[in-house]
Copies of this chain bind each other. A is one copy, B any other.
């Protein structure tokens, strides 16, 4: 067997290994939450765009959700707007939510759409305000326009997905009087996945997955059930940025989403590998123990 033939056989093997996953996930909705450093490294942004395009090409229906805290802070700083915190949470006045909206909807969302649309006219940017997608309510009145998801109307997502378009969603919601609220992106990703009864929700993070000790990569949990995760949350074994992701993942799998995944977004193409290969990667959360 020549080298060329060996190489060909290996390539074929990868494609053939993907076959059962492609058949299984045909038509499935996958919500990808995209944030953190992955968003600022152009090479990774490019890899993630390729991943969602490939998902769509083989028949899945990806939805992208993004946040953008650091970029909001940066524009606030440039505009001389002093951040104010209460109990460690940012107070969001009317001007702050306008700035957040400009950054999320008018900059970050646009950059993701542009990265995808290099492959064809297939991505459409959305805010939670469009077609009533996300009805928001104030999370805690003293924090101003920090919102919670009061209700999701997924009609516009169903329409775009039916046309094989990729929705890219900024996490701004509006209340019944049209006022905008900024909402945590992990929470939104989970809520959209639930309302779409998605097959998977994938949270891209800056760590290898769910770590019981943030400083020790070896504390990575490969698989965990909803019940086990709940215990972890209740016994305080998780901390920091792990918390909203873990909570959103838990809520999602308890409400009809097939599985939730915490993957290391700093590596390229993790979404692809998680979906289409036998390689175990990051952390998988399911309602009950996977068979």
Task: Please list the residues of chain A having a beta carbon within 8 angstroms of any beta carbon in chain B.
Answer: 4-5, 7-12, 14-19, 22-23, 26, 50, 53-54, 57-59, 78-79, 98, 101-107, 109-110, 113-115, 117-127, 129-133, 153, 155-156, 159, 163, 165, 172, 174, 177-180, 267-269, 272-273, 276-277, 279, 281
Contacts and interface: CB of A to CB of B under 8 A. Distances in A.
Contacts of A115: 178
Contacts of A267: 5, 8
Contact of A131 (B17, B124, B127, B279): B124
Contacts of A79: 78-79
A112 to B, nearest CB: 11
Nearest to A111: B178
A161 to B, nearest CB: 12
A229 to B, nearest CB: 25
A126 B124 contact: yes
A279 B11 contact: yes
A135 to B, nearest CB: 9
Given A22-B58, A127-B110, A163 B174 contact: no
A48 to B, nearest CB: 12
A53 B19 contact: yes
A22 B102 contact: no
Nearest to A175: B114
Contacts of A4: 279
Nearest to A116: B178
A268 B110 contact: no
